[in-house]
Amino acid sequence: MGRLVITIVGNGGCLNNGLPYNACLIQGRLLLEAPPDIMPSLMRLGLDHGRIDRVFISHLHGDHTFGLPFLVINRWMRSPDSPPLTVLGPPGIAAHARVLVEAAFTAEHPCLAWFDQRVVFQTVGEAFETAWEGLTLSSVALEHAVPTFGLLLAAGQEPVFAYLSDTRWCPNVEKILAGKPKVVLMDMNGGNPDLHTSREEVRKKGLPLTAGQTVIYGTHLFEPFLEDSGNLRCARPGETLLVEWP
C-alpha cells in the first residue's frame, strides 16, 4: 500500500486576516511554495527544514517565493552539507530566485556561492513530468495573473494528490477534479473570479465532478471557514492529511 503524509504549513492568501501563508510539506521532503514566513511556520510546527530536498513554486508572486532566501540561508548556515536543493517552478524561476537571495543578503554575501553550487532549478510546464517517491510528479497549467502551475502526484494511472494553486475556474481544474484524486488542496480565495476560485464554485462545480471520491481542502484563504461537507474542508495549519492507495 502506498502512503503520503501531507502537513499543512499555512493556509493564507496574499491578503488574509492573519493566517500563515499558504504552503504544505509532503513526506517531510517536498515543500509546496516558499512564502515569506516559511521558516517560522516550519519551526513553529517542529518540521525539519534540513530534510527538504525539493521545493515546488507555482508562480512568481511574492507570497509564494519571498521565503526562498531564508530557506537558503538557513540551509547554508545550519546544514551546508545537506543534499542539493531542487527548486521546480515556472519559467524564470532560477533568475527570480537569485535576485531574491541577492536582494535579501547583498551581492557580497558568501551564501550566494553556496546557492550557485547547491540549488538546482527545473522549469515546469504543461509537459513536465518526473519520478518522485515511486510516483509520477507532473505539472498542470492553471489560469492566473501570471504563468502558474499546479502539481499532480499519480501512482501509475491513478491520480493520488493534486495541488491547484492560485487559479480561476478553468478547464484544467475540471480535468484534474474529474480524474478523482484522493485529496486535492486548492485555491478557495474567492474575490476576483478572474484570478481565484471560490468555495462556492468548488461546491457547485467541483464536488459533482469527483462523485464523492475526492476530499477537497481549501487553502490560500482570506479567513478560515467551517467545513461545508465531508468532502469540502478547510485546510488548517499543523493538520496532517494521510493519503493511501492500494
Report whether pLDDT(176) > 80. Answer: yes
- Closest residue by Cα to residue 87 from 67, 104, 107: 67
Q: Each residue of 197-244: pLDDT tens digit? A: 999 999 999 999 999 999 999 999 999 998 777 999 999 999 999 999
Name the domain count of the chain.
1
Which of 25, 22, 27 has the alpha carbon at shortest distance from 37? 22
Q: What distance in Å separates the CA atoms of residue 67 and residue 185, rounded to the nearest whole number?
A: 20
> Over the stretch 9-63, which tens digit does the pLDDT of each residue have?
999 999 999 999 999 999 999 999 999 999 999 999 999 999 999 999 999 999 9
CB contact at 8 A, 214 and 183: yes
pLDDT at 81: 82
Classify each residue of 130-145 as buried b or exposed e, where b means 16 or more C-beta atoms within 10 Å of its C-beta.
eebeebbbbbbbbbbe
Range of the domain at 212: 2-245
Q: For residue 83, what pLDDT is reported?
A: 80
Quote the longest CA-to-CA distance of the chain: 56
**CA gap 144, 149 in Å, rounded:** 9
Tell me what pLDDT residue 79 has. 82
Q: In CATH, what number is assigned to the domain containing residue 237?
A: 3.60.15.10
